[in-house]
Amino acid sequence: MIEVENLKKIYRLGDTKVRALDGVSLQIQDGEMVAIVGPSGSGKSTLMAILGCLDTPTKGTYRMDGQPMEKLSDNQLAAIRSRKIGFVFQQFNLLPRTSALENVMLPLSYNGVKGKTRQEKARAALEVVGLSDRSRHHPNQLSGGEQQRVAIARALVNEPSILLADEPTGNLDTHTGADIIRIFQNLNRERGQTVVYVTHDSFIARHTNRIIKIEDGKIVGDERVENPFEAGVPRLDDVLAPAHQGEGKAGRVL
Ligand SMILES: Nc1ncnc2c1ncn2[C@@H]1O[C@H](COP(=O)(O)OP(=O)(O)OP(=O)(O)O)[C@@H](O)[C@H]1O
Ligand SMILES: [Mg+2]
């Protein structure tokens, strides 16, 4: 469980101060699937970096599973990060001259997992994202969607308590984005994996159970989604509406 209270992040550049986060308080329970939305520059990535222990706040408190983060040293934070947090980036961030399997094995090496177990766990994680047949491929031999799936496998391999993703579909077309959201939905429903992702797309946000809106570093909305959309399943309204309007194009399928 994540609890943050009155988080502030202030960047100083010369004489100017940027309030990237301006008093954010929120709780995310285990097993939730949450979207964070908001305009460019509103503080979404700043918040994700703090939640992912990649950065620290200027002020405020952050507890993960009851443990206060602000008292931890950099080394302790790094340890929490590698054990409890899986992070997925918009740009995939895979090591280029390394196979998919080795990319996924990497976080296990940091945690001291031995060779054979490392391989087994990495193979299992690649299987979860449907990429068993691409384990020897290097990133430049994979499509964007496949690279993102490797990145998700890498994020999952240590069985994190929370999976954080900053615009995970931002570099992908709609159809490929759907595959990624489908994986998140499956992980959330079948394994109870807590998932939080940032998106600027309100349609993609509707595939979660909760949408948090951020503007100017503040939370301005926090709503439950009654009937989340199913990734990959066309919605009747979408399929029918354009035909009625004579547009003749297929409905949006995600
Ligand atoms: N390292 C930094 N130094 C100074 N200002 C920063 C730094 N990082 C972010 N900012 C500023 O903080 C604010 C929030 O940035 P952030 O990256 O969190 O926005 P965002 O909501 O993720 O935007 P986008 O949708 O474009 O990714 C912006 O005004 C940005 O210019
Ligand atoms: Mg951002």
Ligand nearest the Cα of residue 43 is 1
Query: pLDDT tens for residues 63-72?
Result: 999 999 988 9
Residue 12 three-state SS: strand
- Give residue 246's pLDDT: 41
* Whether residue 57 has its Cβ less than 6 Å from ligand 1: no
The region, left, alpha or beta by phi > 0 then psi within -120 to 50, assigned to residue 56 is beta
> Could you list which residues have their CB under 5 Å from ion ligand 2?
45
* pLDDT for the residue 240: 64
Least confident stretch, 14-28, 79-93, 199-213, 229-243: 229-243
Nearest protein Cα to ligand 1, atom 12: 20
Between the CA of residue 121 and those of 170, 176, 191, what are the distances in Å?
A: 28, 25, 16
Give the CB-side neighbour count of residue 239, counting CA atoms within 13 A: 6
**Distance (Å) from CA 169 to ligand 2 centroid:** 12
User: CATH homologous superfamily of domain 2-93+152-244?
Assistant: P-loop containing nucleotide triphosphate hydrolases (3.40.50.300)
pLDDT score for 249: 41
Of 2-16, 26-40, 157-171, 225-239, the range with the lowest mean pLDDT is 225-239
Q: Is residue 228 in contact with ligand 1, taking CB distance under 6 Å?
A: no
What is the distance in A from the centroid of ligand 1 to the CA of 20? 6
Distance of CA 225 to the CA centre of its chain: 18
Domain boundaries along the sequence of the chain:
2-93+152-244
Whole-number average pLDDT of the chain:
91
Atom of ligand 1 nearest to the CA of 43: 18
Distance CA 239, CA 65 (A): 43
Total-model pTM: 0.91
